Copies of this chain bind each other. A is one copy, B any other.
Amino acid sequence: MKKAGKLGERKIIEIIQNRLDLMPRMPVPFGDDVAAFEIGSGDLVVLKTDMLVGKTDVPRGMSVWQAARKAIVMNVSDFAAKGVKPIALLVSLGLPRNSTEKDVEEIGAGLNAGAREYDAYVIGGDTGEASDLIISVSLFGMAQKGKLMLRSGARPGDLLAVTGPFGKPSAGLKILVDGREARDDIRNALVESVLMPHARLREGLALAHTGAVSAAIDSSDGLAWSLHEIARASKVGMTVEALPTSREAEKFAIVDKLDPVELTLYGGEEYELVLTVRPRLWGKAEKAVERAGGTLVKIGKVTAKESILFERRGRQVEVEPRGYEHFKT
């Protein structure tokens, strides 16, 4: 019999889903970034839960304040990808017995900082003893049916876009976890992206208003994985014309003799949004993101064939369906 370590996160989720009765008329399909239920006249309550576990989600160098804040940012990022404003959140906290009073204070302050950054409030929770630090956040908001940016609406011809460059967190983790080195300014930017992630909430909310987005996802499991998820849910393919590698990750890769493509596509802990945009509404989407203080970067387009390709040294190469997966990495 296979153990969780062999099954992997996605197989575990599939096994569990297969044993669940489906709620009738679910407005958001199982497996999208958020869940929802309808409360009448097209109003949806939108829900998300994501659990931070000390052992796997808190790298060396991250304070408990940062871990608590990150537990909230992880959840807000999924709301951002769907274009939903978070309102309130609950926290289930598992604490090791030897946690100090200062740890608890920092967790409270970190949770509050994370929530208030996105204009939401912690309104309840629960705490108990656990072998490892566990911060399970549940986030709630409201949306109009039909306004949510799901994973499933991409069509051939749509433009593929991201809200910023990739690769910084995977490079940052190599510094924090593997002890790799980098020039001070590069090091700071890379490490900061891991310790103080930011959800692209303003961008996501602005984009949802435009009606220009046909599919969207966050990128916590990496860019390659996000592309494959949109492709799978929308039954389309993609060509990536310009890999959005961050300047700092590029420099780090050169000095440390790493592959910048690997850092860009297959790292986890990314917080950019990955989107497909109706071509005739591109300008509108671009302006909306700029007004929200961000940038919309075109990286390719949606195709009809079911593969995801990018050009590397003059050859078409497949973007592999891999990324960060719990139990496997």
Among B16, B101, B132, the residue within 8 A (CB) of A132 is B132
10 closest cross-chain pairs (CB), A and B: A35-B124, A19-B108, A16-B108, A23-B121, A138-B138, A131-B131, A136-B136, A51-B92, A49-B90, A4-B99
Find chain B residues with CB under 8 A from A123 CB. Answer: 23, 26, 30, 35-37, 47
Additional A-B contact list (8), CB under 8 Å, known A26-B123, A53-B94: A5-B97, A19-B112, A21-B115, A35-B124, A49-B124, A53-B128, A95-B327, A130-B132
On whether the beta carbons of B90 and A35 are closer than 8 Å, the reply is yes
Q: Which residues of A contact B (CB under 8 A)?
A: 1-5, 7, 9, 12-13, 15-23, 26, 30, 34-37, 39, 43, 45, 47-51, 53, 55-57, 87-88, 90-105, 107-109, 111-112, 115-116, 121-132, 134, 136, 138, 140, 142, 326-327
On whether the beta carbons of B98 and A129 are closer than 8 Å, the reply is no
CA distance A210 to B112 in the complex (A): 38
CA distance A100 to B6 in the complex (A): 9
| Residue with the highest number of chain B CB atoms closer than 10 Å, among A43, A51, A111 | A51
CA distance A132 to B100 in the complex (A): 21
On whether the beta carbons of A134 and B49 are closer than 8 Å, the reply is no
On whether the beta carbons of B112 and A21 are closer than 8 Å, the reply is yes
| Given A47-B88, A51-B94, A88-B35: A102 and B326 interface contact (C-beta under 8 Å) | no
On whether the beta carbons of A127 and B9 are closer than 8 Å, the reply is yes
Nearest CB of B to A310, in Å: 30
CA distance A1 to B48 in the complex (A): 35
Find chain B residues with CB under 8 A from A102 CB. Answer: 1
Find chain B residues with CB under 8 A from A49 CB. Answer: 90-92, 124-126, 136, 138
Q: Report copies per complex.
A: 2
On whether the beta carbons of B101 and A2 are closer than 8 Å, the reply is yes
On whether the beta carbons of B53 and A16 are closer than 8 Å, the reply is no
Among B13, B53, B126, the residue within 8 A (CB) of A129 is B53
Among B2, B51, B140, the residue within 8 A (CB) of A47 is B140
| Given A20-B122, A121-B23, A131-B131: A98 and B55 interface contact (C-beta under 8 Å) | no
Find chain B residues with CB under 8 A from A3 CB. Answer: 97-101
CA distance A138 to B132 in the complex (A): 20
Find chain B residues with CB under 8 A from A20 CB. Answer: 108, 111-112, 115, 121-122
On whether the beta carbons of B100 and A15 are closer than 8 Å, the reply is no
CA distance A170 to B50 in the complex (A): 33
Q: Which residue from chain B places its CB closest to the CB of A106 in the assembled complex? A: B19
Find chain B residues with CB under 8 A from A99 CB. Answer: 3-4
Among B19, B92, B112, B121, the residue within 8 A (CB) of A92 is B92
